[in-house]
Chain A
Amino acid sequence: MQLEIKLFASLQKYMPNVEKVELDGNCTVLDLLKKIGISSSEVAITLVNGRHVKLEQRLNEGETVAMFPPIAGG
């Protein structure tokens, strides 16, 4: 299946632009992270089609996945 990926802030080093990624069917967000080479500890918020999901969320053809890193400095 094909997914559209948008990475934000420090995660853009893995993929600076919005890109389409091919993934086998029956995959989760965790599988997507593995494919791109991102550790799960680098991601705080994941949105699928604008909806907040957990890393175990199953993905479907054509969905848009956005990811944001944890920010905690004061």
Chain B
Amino acid sequence: MQCSHPSQEDNLVKITDNEEYLSQLLQQKLEITGEVEKAIELLVTEQGIPKRIAESLACGLHIFPKRYDLNAGTFGGMGQKNLLRSKVMVAGLGGLGGHVVEQLVRCGLGIVVGVDADLFDETNLNRQLYCDLQTIGLRKTVATQRRVAAINDAVEFHPLALPVEDLEDGAYDGVDLIFDCLDTIPSRLYLQEVGERLSIPLIHGAIGGWYGQVAIVWPGSKLLSNVYGTRKEGIEKVLGSPPFTPAFIATIMVSEGIKLLLGKKERENTVLFVDLMNNQWQYISL
């Protein structure tokens, strides 16, 4: 796992300027080693660039590290490259957030900022992907960081063990997209305000019982204000949160987010409402 710091940001500017040169170096190393993973390691060591950037150069040449082989047909070389160069925030690392992070990391999403102030407890065991008997009492950010490192060592995970209301604007630097995986209406509305102020779209997801919803919240749309109005809590207070609903809704959130990052999604003001009891799927235009 690598951590981001100012020198890496400087590095990225140099990489953009020298992309053709670095790609040529990568191809030379590939000819010598015969393996894309070894060529990437050599480039990382010699040039001091983040592994995700070296991987992105390879994907840009349509040479895929094996871990992205089965992404390649779906995202394409340029798509995988763009994902490795992207940065997202996942606000809330619980039922939705754990599944969202898991899928983003396997997609090869370059930088994931994970925000959650909580520790895992036994009530999380039924649905939260990174909660198990060994992680009870552990910070969700710490457990998530370990899991990310175990899956993909090119993805940079930046843990922020704070409530979203306590984040400074610097936490959002370079963030292309925010996944709203929070669990209260006031926090979600707060995040909507931040997205509006900093011009960052949100992928909103929420669940309760057999039901869930997903929406893209464009800056200025006030979509969540229209959805929630003055409501303070949702049906999850009565219906709870079973294991399958967050996994399902998180999957839609990630596919919506990936489509946005790949430029495959048009601007819209709709909420997708999902009813897993009756297997109904409803678009609501607001």
Contact = CB atoms under 8 A, between A and B. Distances in A.
A74 B97 contact: yes
Q: Which of A41, A52, A74 has most B Cβ within 10 Å?
A: A74
Contacts of B208: 9-10, 69, 71-73
Contacts of A44: 227-229, 231, 234
A43 to B, nearest CB: 9
A41 B205 CA distance: 20
Interface residues of B, number: 42
A52 B226 CA distance: 9
Main secondary structure, interface of B, reads: mixed
Interface size class of A (residues with CB under 8 A): 10 to 19
A47 interface: yes
Interface in B115-146: none
B230 to A, nearest CB: 9
B200 interface: no
Contact of B239 (A8, A10, A45): A10
A68 B95 CA distance: 22
B207 A73 contact: yes
B157 interface: no
Interface of B: 92, 94-97, 181-185, 188, 205-213, 226-229, 231, 233-236, 238-239, 241, 246, 271, 273, 275, 277, 280, 282, 284-286
Interface of A: 8-10, 41-42, 44-45, 47, 50, 52, 68-74
24 contacts: A8-B275, A9-B210, A9-B275, A9-B277, A10-B209, A41-B231, A44-B227, A44-B231, A52-B284, A52-B286, A70-B185, A70-B234, A71-B207, A71-B208, A71-B235, A72-B185, A72-B188, A72-B236, A73-B95, A73-B234, A73-B241, A74-B94, A74-B95, A74-B96
